[in-house]
Amino acid sequence: MEFRARFAPSPTGQVHIGNIRTAIFNWLATRHNKGTFLLRIEDTDLERSTQDAIDKLLDCMKWLGLDYDEEIMYQTRQSDLHKQAAKKLVEQGSAYPLNPAEEHSPILFRLPYECDGMKFVRQVGRVRLELAPGSAVQLNQAGVVYQTVSPKGKTVENAATLAGFKDLEILGADGSVLFRLDETTRGQLPSNPQEKMTVENAAALSFVRREVFYHDLVKGDLAKPLDSMKDFIIVRSDGSPVFHLANVYDDMQQRVTHIVRGDDHVENTYRHLFLFEALGFTPPQYAHLPMIVNKAGKPYSKRDGDAFVGDFREKGFLPQALFNYLSLLGWSPGDGREKMSKEELVEAFTIERALRSPAQFDMAKLTNMNALYIAELPEEEFRRAIGPYLEKFCLEAVGSPLLDQVAALMHSRTKTFADVAHWNYFFRSAEKLEYDAKALKKFLSDDMIRRSVSEFAEILETLPERCSAAEIESKIRAVEEKYGIPQGKLNQPLRIAVTGSTIGAGIYETIELIGSAESALRIRKALERKAE
């Protein structure tokens, strides 16, 4: 059978990395299985689903190379079909109005009492449920309402679908059967959801428990007792279809065979299985992905840092790096590989290998992954890619004759394109250089260091303007030796003096690029500044 999967986002603004990870997993699973990848925009929340949000989503998908194979399905355009489906469900007895007397009543889906033949329903056995003393149990064809006592001693009201109570017996305190649910008595229960039959002085419920079960491709075998479920709304009083109906109907229409989505939808799945059945469609296979979480194990959100695809794009992450990183967030090829091309991911990806535990977002890991991808870019591509970031963060570099050499020197050290913001010192004159005051104090206070740094500046002044990194290194070593300073100890003070900061490329290469005279000038300025 053809493998058909879909990404079905609700476009409500920015695209969260959790959402796009769902898209990536669907896309990878589909490409691996040579199937069809569909995009359905669930835009039924008319207040939040703006065209701008849809454009953002499409843009993100394009940026990441998530191509789809058929025309986009817009859920709002399906609305008439959803309403027709609801009508058909009412006609076949699978759904009913909540207030039959009202013209515009919400429509509820009925979890069917006769469900033992369904592939996803099984009987667990007879159970006995103790009620709050002197309970009044209310029944109708929609369900059962009863009271129990919580562990804290509080009386709690419970309501569940009638389908959850196969062969129900309502028992009195003396064990007598006050009511028995069988074919005859079931037919006598009020069909109007607003009316109820009451059984007074009940002490316990005895019934055959049924549960809905299915095998989740990620989470394994899952089940939920039917007596913890309720009939649910599929059409609102304003006539608009509810998510459950729209989502299931569209999956049916798009002939989806695999649903890969966030595990916040597991609870919905128990209901959707019944809806598929009532609509006459074999339910697809489900794969529910655990959340992406922060260090504390809580769902990863904007509060934890960058959480939207657009944030990463702006900060200078490469789409292939973000794609690679997100595909490993809750999945692994099982052989220790991490940096993987799209082709390798497609080859290795099966949804069954998705991990059951929540995936922790790790910015440092993503940044390192990005650095690997940046390092691999051909030089011209790197130059092209940093263009917009230079304009934004390092304008002084634009048009500078030094830029080519600086870019070549810094390429292998660039983790995100926004790192160009730290390149200013290459292009700024000594007067405009900004110094990290703390570092200045830390590294340029010692007398011996100051004298040796000053001596090195004097040497620089005698050197040709462009001196090789190797030569500069040997001159620094010579000064260190003369002053009896351990080898390498002058590097950091010189770095501060020449660049203003403690981070950057190697100091020898940096001085080579900046030039001997300019570097000497900067050293003198730094020494003066420290003396101030």
Nearer to ligand GLU by Cβ, of 10 and 206: the residue is 10
Nearer to ligand GLU by Cβ, of 81 and 178: the residue is 81
Task: Examine residue 14 and tell whether it contacts ligand GLU (CB under 6 A).
Answer: no
CA 54 to the chain's CA centroid: 17
Task: Examine residue 265 and tell whether it contacts ligand GLU (CB under 6 A).
Answer: yes
- Name which of 146, 124, 145 is nearest 134 in CA terms: 146
Please list, residue by residue across 187-198, b when 16 or more beta carbons sit within 10 angstroms of its beta carbon and e when fewer do: eebeeebeebee
Q: For 37-80, what is the HEC assignment?
A: EEEEECCCCCCCCCHHHHHHHHHHHHHCCCCCCCCCEEHHHHHH
Q: How many residues bind ligand GLU (CB under 6 A)?
A: 8
Least distance in angstroms from the C-beta of 23 to ligand GLU: 10
Least distance in angstroms from the C-beta of 61 to ligand GLU: 14
What the block records as the tokens of 361 is: 């977002």
Nearer to ligand GLU by Cβ, of 9 and 316: the residue is 9
DSSP state of 36: E
* CA pair distance 231, 143, nearest whole angstrom: 8
* CA pair distance 61, 50, nearest whole angstrom: 17
Q: Which residue of 8, 181, 279, 386 would you call a contact of ligand GLU, by CB under 6 A?
A: 8
Task: Examine residue 284 and tell whether it contacts ligand GLU (CB under 6 A).
Answer: no
- 10 Å CB burial of residue 290 (0-12, 13-18, 19+) is middle
Nearer to ligand GLU by Cβ, of 8 and 403: the residue is 8
CA-CA-CA-CA torsion sign (285, 359, 264, 266): positive
In the chain, the N- to C-terminal Cα span, in Å, equals 78
Cα angle at 300 between 296 and 302, to 5 degrees? Answer: 120
User: What is the number of the residue whose Cβ is closest to ligand GLU?
Assistant: 261
Assess contact for 164 and 229: CB atoms under 8 A.
Answer: yes
- Name which of 472, 440, 467, 441 is nearest 456 in CA terms: 472
Nearer to ligand GLU by Cβ, of 224 and 489: the residue is 224
Assess contact for 350 and 258: CB atoms under 8 A.
Answer: no
Which parts of 435-464 interact with ligand GLU (CB under 6 A)?
Answer: none
What the block records as the tokens of 117 is: 């033949």
The residue written with tokens 């959803």 in the block is: 82
Task: Examine residue 247 and tell whether it contacts ligand GLU (CB under 6 A).
Answer: yes
Which parts of 23-52 interact with ligand GLU (CB under 6 A)?
Answer: 42
Which parts of 379-418 interact with ligand GLU (CB under 6 A)?
Answer: none
Least distance in angstroms from the C-beta of 9 to ligand GLU: 5
Segment interacting with ligand GLU, rule: CB under 6 A, options 7-15, 124-132, 222-230, 362-370: 7-15
Phi, psi of 199 (to 5 degrees): -110, 115
- Name which of 4, 2, 23 is nearest 319 in CA terms: 23
Least distance in angstroms from the C-beta of 55 to ligand GLU: 17
Q: Which residue of 4, 16, 261, 522 would you call a contact of ligand GLU, by CB under 6 A?
A: 261
- 10 Å CB burial of residue 204 (0-12, 13-18, 19+) is middle
Nearer to ligand GLU by Cβ, of 265 and 442: the residue is 265
Task: Examine residue 254 and tell whether it contacts ligand GLU (CB under 6 A).
Answer: no
Least distance in angstroms from the C-beta of 269 to ligand GLU: 9
Least distance in angstroms from the C-beta of 79 to ligand GLU: 15
Could you tell me the CA-to-CA distances from 490 to 115, 191, 435 in Å, in that order?
81, 89, 17
Please list, residue by residue across 255-267, b when 16 or more beta carbons sit within 10 angstroms of its beta carbon and e when fewer do: ebbbbbbbbeebe
- Name which of 13, 44, 43 is nearest 238 in CA terms: 44
What the block records as the tokens of 434 is: 């900004």
Nearer to ligand GLU by Cβ, of 5 and 406: the residue is 5
Nearer to ligand GLU by Cβ, of 8 and 168: the residue is 8
Nearer to ligand GLU by Cβ, of 222 and 459: the residue is 222
Which parts of 179-238 interact with ligand GLU (CB under 6 A)?
Answer: none
Nearer to ligand GLU by Cβ, of 19 and 135: the residue is 19
Assess contact for 126 and 205: CB atoms under 8 A.
Answer: no
Q: Is 183 helix (H, G, I), strand (E, B) or coil?
A: helix
Nearer to ligand GLU by Cβ, of 265 and 529: the residue is 265
Least distance in angstroms from the C-beta of 275 to ligand GLU: 12
Task: Examine residue 285 and tell whether it contacts ligand GLU (CB under 6 A).
Answer: no
Q: Which residue of 9, 164, 283, 358 would you call a contact of ligand GLU, by CB under 6 A?
A: 9
Least distance in angstroms from the C-beta of 35 to ligand GLU: 16
Segment interacting with ligand GLU, rule: CB under 6 A, options 133-141, 257-265, 306-314, 363-371: 257-265
Task: Examine residue 10 and tell whether it contacts ligand GLU (CB under 6 A).
Answer: yes
Mark residues 100-139: x for contact with ligand GLU by CB under 6 A, - for none.
----------------------------------------
Nearer to ligand GLU by Cβ, of 286 and 417: the residue is 286
Nearer to ligand GLU by Cβ, of 227 and 250: the residue is 250
Contacting positions for ligand GLU (CB under 6 A): 8-10, 42, 247, 259, 261, 265
